[in-house]
Structure 1
Amino acid sequence: MSLYLYAILQAESLDLIKNLDLKGMNTQPVQFHSLPPFAIVYSESQQDRYLASRANLIAHETVLESLMKAIDPHQAVPLPLQFGLVVDEWEEVQRDLLIPYESKLKDLINNLIGKREVSVKLFWNQTEELNLAVAENEGLRQRREALVGKILSMDEAIAIGQELEAAIEQRQQIIVEAFINTLKPLSHDYAEGELLTESMIYNGSFLIDWDKEPEFAASVEDLDKQFENRLRIRYNDFTSPYNFVKFERE
């Protein structure tokens, strides 16, 4: 029997979730296995490998979010494990993870108790921002207007292109720095992610005190007003703390 793993808990946390009824991957019952000082959240695996399909990702994340909702975050925190982690036996978990990294796992748990990860993703309309950049820069506007209807040389095309690119990059930098400078001081830790689409200009995650989320959200709203609602902001205040459970394997 293979085992699909979702998260690591403190062994004493099992009393907080012993009556939790969950279905995980392949609608298998979620179970808890004690390997003191830890406990593993798992279900019986029906496959050797799991594709990162939308349905599978949602099933995995639903288990983690249900655990987070069931446990008082000031008492315990489930450490999320990577999607698709399947093992053959508990000895493998002990040998490769719990024993060699016991101290680091305990430190991670202690660091996360009473905290939560929130994420902020920023999107804009690049064409609209470019038009605003030109409108606000008289010199750039005049140079651009002077080229309208003219057959440009290679050097002229490159020069105006570079100037427009610099203008749009400066606008992006101003926005991103405003968000980081405002939100980072409200957090204990910070991680910046990849830009996932052409319209995304910022992707950041913050580790904040659980009870201070309303204050953090209000700051995000103030920043939205500061930039006159030009941005589309995707704010997630309840997510597994993937960005803050990483450590280098020896």
Structure 2
Amino acid sequence: MTTRAEKDNDVQAGRSGPVDHGVYVYGILNQRQRLPEELPSVGDQEAAVKLVSHGELSALVSEVELVRPLGIREDLLAHERVLDTLAADTAVIPMRFGAVVSSVDAVVDELLAPHHDHFEAMLSELAGSVQYTIRGRYADSAHIREVVAEEPAVQELRETLRGVPEEAGYAERLRLGELVNQAVVRKREADTEELITSVSSTVLATNPHQVPAEDDAVDVAFLVDRDQVPQFEQAVDELGERWDRRINLRLIGPLAPYDFLPEV
């Protein structure tokens, strides 16, 4: 997405020569006058997050000392917390983590002014919506038990290998592992589809992610109409009850729309 990558690179290119401080840019939103209190800041917890405005836009920024590379866990968490706090009640365009410009003037001259119409159009598309992410993990390897119970080929191979020394059944065990893995992939796909279907009447868009770990079941981002958030949460609760002791669901949000930045 150009807004979070190429445009950030353009902004950082505005710095020339070695510097020991800069202005960190978190994101872009419609112009506003005040910010929530006690926002964290990247690089220096004592630096206040401020607004830099131009036209109909405001940028979320804070001063940062460049005495060390940005990238520790606390920096990333601060970046996300600023954006997600604002996203709870307004549309916000997240900049890529690590976006730094040379000065407050550069925020206007190199970011807000030349890309004003682009950002304004993006915010217009995102108006009235917010991102939530749902992640789920299989409880006590429920998916493996289901595969064994549901897949005749798996049952047959398991029975064939019963009592066979490990070194004597290498090919069969390899095949059994392949069958189980394939069945788990199908099960995750089916569970992801059920999750999406369960909340479909309350969401504007979905973005499924691949799950990273063996016991992970689902990982889907949803763009939700703010007026539909209670209904969305209720639908998630109802699915959680149906999946009780099978998949443990975790609802994360409200979040900035990291997965739904419009191409305009």
Amino acid at match of 2:162: V
Kindly state the Cα deviation for residue 43 of structure 1 after the two structures are TM-superposed. Answer: 1.3
Alignment deviations for residues 137-158 of structure 1 (CA, whole Å, 9 cap, x no partner) = 4563244123111144444233
CA distance in 1 between partners of 2:225 and 2:114 (Å): 29
Kindly state the Cα deviation for residue 199 of structure 1 after the two structures are TM-superposed. Answer: 2.4
> Structure 1 129/100 Cα, relative in aligned 2: closer, same or farther at 3 Å?
same
Aligned to 2:112: 98
Kindly state the Cα deviation for residue 121 of structure 1 after the two structures are TM-superposed. Answer: 0.9
Residue pair 1:49, 1:84 contacting (<8 A) in 2 also: no
CA distance in 2 between partners of 1:157 and 1:62 (Å): 47
Within-5 A mapping of 1:197-212: 197-212=213-228
Residue pair 2:136, 2:247 contacting (<8 A) in 1 also: yes
Kindly state the Cα deviation for residue 38 of structure 1 after the two structures are TM-superposed. Answer: 1.6
> Structure 1 118/22 Cα, relative in aligned 2: closer, same or farther at 3 Å?
closer
CA distance in 2 between partners of 1:54 and 1:150 (Å): 48
Alignment deviations for residues 88-145 of structure 1 (CA, whole Å, 9 cap, x no partner) = 0345444553344333311221122221111111212574421232134456324412
CA distance in 2 between partners of 1:2 and 1:63 (Å): 18
Residue pair 1:50, 1:56 contacting (<8 A) in 2 also: no
- Are 1:42 and 2:61 counterparts? yes
Residue pair 1:49, 1:86 contacting (<8 A) in 2 also: no
Question: What RMSD in Å do the two structures reach over aligned CA positions?
Answer: 2.8
Within-5 A mapping of 1:61-140: 61-68=80-87, 73=89, 76-90=90-104, 92-94=106-108, 96-125=110-139, 127-137=141-151, 140=154
CA distance in 2 between partners of 1:191 and 1:51 (Å): 28
Amino acid at match of 1:205: A
CA distance in 1 between partners of 2:189 and 2:217 (Å): 9
Aligned to 2:14: none
CA distance in 2 between partners of 1:156 and 1:228 (Å): 34
> Structure 1 34/207 Cα, relative in aligned 2: closer, same or farther at 3 Å?
same
Aligned length: 240
Aligned to 2:50: 31
Aligned to 1:51: 70
Residue pair 1:6, 1:81 contacting (<8 A) in 2 also: yes
Larger mean Cα displacement after TM superposition, 90-99 or 35-44: 90-99
Unaligned stretches of 5+ in structure 2? Answer: 1-20
Amino acid at match of 1:239: L
Aligned to 2:196: 180
Aligned to 2:236: 220
CA distance in 1 between partners of 2:78 and 2:107 (Å): 22
Tell me the percent identity: 23
Aligned to 1:232: 248
Aligned to 2:185: 169
> Structure 1 52/186 Cα, relative in aligned 2: closer, same or farther at 3 Å?
same
